[in-house]
Amino acid sequence: MMKVSWLQDQLPRLAEHLESSAEELNGLDAQLGDGDLGVTMVRGSRQLLEIREELPDDWGMALLKCAQAFTKTSGSSYGTILATGLMAMAKQKKGQAEMDSSEWAGLLKVALEAMQQRGKAELGQKTVLDALSAAQKKLESAPETGLLDLIEVVQQTIEEFRDKPCQIGRARIFQDKSIGLDDPGMVAFKRLLEGIVPN
């Protein structure tokens, strides 16, 4: 059983890892979008560090604060989409102080559905949703899957989509150019997972 203190313990390493990935994410994004994905992630994670001590014991309210860390610092759509996922999970966990790892599959599912609805993207269009969905499916079929294996699933998804065109967002205007490039949103999701210490 995990309490919010588990999340608080993760944040410094997570922030550090995102700081060191910022340049890579900005670069990937610059090839397809406006080149600020790394900035979005860094600003969000710095804000998470700011509020780390104030996170309430209630998982719902704690996840809401995490969502707000991204909406406060970022006007970019990735920040809003990420916050949407966190918020969907927050609603599920409102009033609960404990979280079991068996809940992850279900929580990722509601996050995925909310993100899909908000961003109007479908699976297969080469977005963060594809990576999230692969991870979610893995957890659903094998709830005991460890974090490292999950990161591997995300990596496989990145590779699987590398030679497909982006079909939504700014990149859809020049789909051909996106072939051969990793989706920045998927890579950012992978970096997020890598920032969590495996237990």
- Which DSSP state fits 1? -
Task: Check residue 127 for interaction with another protein (CB under 8 A).
Answer: no
Give the Cα separation of 98 and 72 in Å (integer): 26
Please provide the DSSP assignment of 62-128 as one string.
Answer: HHHHHHHHHHHH--SHHHHHHHHHHHHHHHHHTT---B-GGGHHHHHHHHHHHHHHHHT--TTSSSH
Selected range binding another protein among 66-74, 129-137, 143-151, 177-185, rule: CB under 8 A: 66-74
- Report if residue 87 touches another protein, rule: CB under 8 A: yes
Quick check: 68 binds another protein (CB under 8 A)?
yes
80 binds another protein (CB under 8 A): yes
Out of 74, 116, 136, 145, point to the residue binding another protein (CB under 8 A).
74
Among 118, 162, 164, 172, binds another protein (CB under 8 A): 118
Token readout for 153 is 């699933």
Residue of the chain from 64, 128, 192, 193 that contacts another protein (CB under 8 A): 64
Nearest-Å Rg of the Cα atoms of the chain is 16
Q: Does 119 bind another protein (CB under 8 A)?
A: yes
What would the x/- binding string for another protein be over residues 23 to 62, using CB under 8 A?
Answer: -------------------------------------x--
**Does residue 91 interact with another protein by CB under 8 A?**
yes
- Class of residue 81 by CB neighbours under 10 A (exposed 0-12, middle 13-18, buried 19+): buried
Please report whether residue 107 would count as binding another protein according to CB under 8 A: no
Burial code (b: 16+ CB inside 10 Å, e: under 16) for 126-160 equals bbbbbbbbbbbebbeeeeebeeeebbebbbebbee
Please say which residue, 74 or 136, places its beta carbon nearer to another protein: 74
Q: Which of 15, 48, 90, 153 binds another protein (CB under 8 A)?
A: 90
Bridge partners, residue 2, by sequence: 99
Which of these segments, 50-58, 81-89, 95-103, 105-113, binds another protein (CB under 8 A)?
81-89
Give how far Cα 185 sits from Cα of 133, 145, 182, Å: 13, 23, 9
Which residues in this chain contact another protein in the complex, by CB under 8 A? Answer: 60, 64, 67-68, 71-72, 74-75, 77, 80-81, 83-84, 87, 90-91, 94, 118-120
